[in-house]
Homo-oligomer: A and B are copies of this chain.
């Protein structure tokens, strides 16, 4: 981790820049897989699964018995933990459901909004060594709460053609009944176009490698919405002398272990805190199984001494971190100053891991500076807010002439006539 002492403000913009992401040219690969899926459906899914996952799948849809078996295979303490997490996610996301508010903007002109669930949503869960069952909860629970009619989950098979039972168990807990054993570009293509077995969906959620990300991006050209643009995960910690440097080091590492491209930034108004944190970082790093990954991530990372906490917040807003930890004595004093962040953790006991798993907030958050213009996943991500209006005879009398005047000035005479004809009928 690079230590930087009191950088001049002219350097801040550069210091907040992420390393350029090498976007491989994947468009052609994605296009050709997409068009095979459009042409050959399930047969293409089987072909690409054999090609990329090196396994022949018997059934694309995971059979109910296999899902049921997961209840036996997952150890009890993990099942208990998943239930606690699910319950907290449910509580917090339920609170985001908005009530209908009816507004009379002018006498006789009544407007309101109603939420409608996106009918068909697809959740992608990556494969790899570790099963990301926590993401199943983060996407499945709000989808269910929102009332999405069809929730499907795609995840790649392991080398034995199987799916980790923890993913299957989390899916049942979240109420997801339809799980497909398919990953990568072919999974995104299947959800975008539909096959004999897999339904076409309206919106695709979930993380993935660069192939999945490129495929999700491309799916948008075919009328499918996606949760948000993807990028490497990141944390920014603001720590003052009241923090616990051992805790701060642990939080920085829990971000750094995500991937070699993870971003970790420490800001402090106290050089001693920086030095102590870096010392603990070294100690804890050596005990980590994912030490190699974390070490690479830390090479791109910075510990920066700034004049005061106010400057730390200004820097953080400029960086717009996915996760922002305020390890300070009075974190509430800083809250109103935050303009750009995905999710914020206040005080010494609010570690990022809590939000990643079990506190109730969503862990699908904007990265790569997108916290400037995107929100994390919430109930809003699973609904459309439809506007309604009901105008009475009095209502159109009250606003009709304003509409006529404006329509005429925009040279849209049929728009004007739709009002004129109604006003005439009321005379």
Which A201-239 residues have a C-beta within 8 angstroms of B? 202-203, 220, 223-225, 229
Question: How would residues 114 to 133 of chain A score, 1 for a CB under 8 Å from any chain B CB and 0 otherwise?
Answer: 10111100000000011111
Within 8 Å of chain B (Cβ to Cβ): is A33?
Answer: no
Copies in the complex: 2
Query: Cβ of A396 and Cβ of B349 under 8 Å apart?
Result: yes
A111: which B residues are within 8 A, CB to CB? 92, 359-361
A330, CB-defined interface residue at 8 Å: no
Contact with B along A78-95 (1 / 0, CB 8 A): 101110110110011001
Contact partner of A92 (CB less than 8 A), chosen from B103, B250, B290, B362, is B103
Assuming the A-B contacts A91-B103, A92-B103, are A357 and B225 also in contact, with contact meaning beta carbons closer than 8 angstroms in the complex?
no
In the complex, chain B residues whose CB is within 8 Å of the CB of A383:
375
Q: Which of B247, B353, B376 contacts A387 (CB 8 A)?
A: B376
In the complex, residue of chain B having the shortest beta-carbon distance to the beta carbon of A244: B425
Check if A134 sits within 8 Å of B342, measured CB to CB. Answer: no
Asked if A113 CB lies within 8 Å of chain B CBs, one says yes
Which B residues lie within 8 Å of A6 (CB)? none
Give 1 or 0 for each of A347-383: 1 = CB within 8 Å of chain B CB. 1111111111111111000101111111110101001
Q: Is the CB of B409 within 8 A of A354?
A: no
Structural contact, B250 and A407, CB atoms closer than 8 A = no
Using a CB–CB distance below 8 Å, which chain A residues touch chain B?
Answer: 77-78, 80-82, 84-85, 87-88, 91-92, 95-96, 98, 101, 103, 105-106, 109, 111, 113-114, 116-119, 129-134, 166, 202-203, 220, 223-225, 229, 244, 246-247, 250-251, 253-254, 256-258, 284, 287-290, 294, 331, 335, 338-362, 366, 368-376, 378, 380, 383-393, 395-396, 399, 401-403, 405-407, 409-419, 421-422, 425
Interface hub of A132, A331, A361 (most chain B Cβ within 10 A) = A361
**Nearest CB of B to A240, in Å:** 16
Contact of A389 among B284, B345, B387, B412 (CB under 8 A): B345
Q: How far is the CB of A64 from chain B (nearest CB, A)?
A: 23
| Contacting pair A357 B403 (CB below 8 A) | yes
Which 8 interchain pairs have the tightest Cβ spacing? A105-B360, A81-B402, A130-B411, A88-B105, A225-B373, A81-B405, A250-B418, A346-B390
Q: Which residues of B contact A360 (CB under 8 A)?
A: 103, 105-106, 109, 111, 389
Contact B92 A289 (CB under 8 A): no
Contact in complex: A253, B402 (CB < 8 Å): no
A346 to chain B, nearest CB (A): 4
Contact among B84, B369, B376, B388 with A223 in the assembled complex (CB-CB below 8 Å): B369
CA distance A361 to B256 in the complex (A): 46
Minimum CB–CB distance from A201 to chain B (whole Å) comes to: 9
- Least CB distance from A139 to B in Å reads 15
**A119–B80 Cα gap in the complex (Å)?**
42
Provide the bound-state CA to CA distance between A403 and B352, in Å.
11
CB neighbours (8 Å) of A132 from chain B are 410
Which residues of B have CB within 8 Å of A403? 81, 353-354, 356-358
- In whole angstroms, how far apart are the Cα atoms of A81 and B410 in the complex? 13
List of B residues within 8 angstroms of A343 by Cβ:
386-389
Tell me the bound Cα distance from A103 to B379 in angstroms.
15
The residue on B at minimum CB distance from A135 is B410
| Residue numbers in B under 8 Å from A96 (CB-CB) | 101, 113
Choice from B223, B288, B406 contacting A78 with Cβ under 8 Å: B406
Partner of A384, one of B250, B288, B340, B351: B340
Contact residues in B for A388 (Cβ distance below 8 Å): 335, 343-346
Tell whether, in the assembled complex, residue A338 and residue B116 are in contact, meaning their CB atoms are under 8 Å apart. Answer: yes
With known contacts A253-B414, A359-B399, A380-B380, A375–B370 Cβ distance under 8 A: no
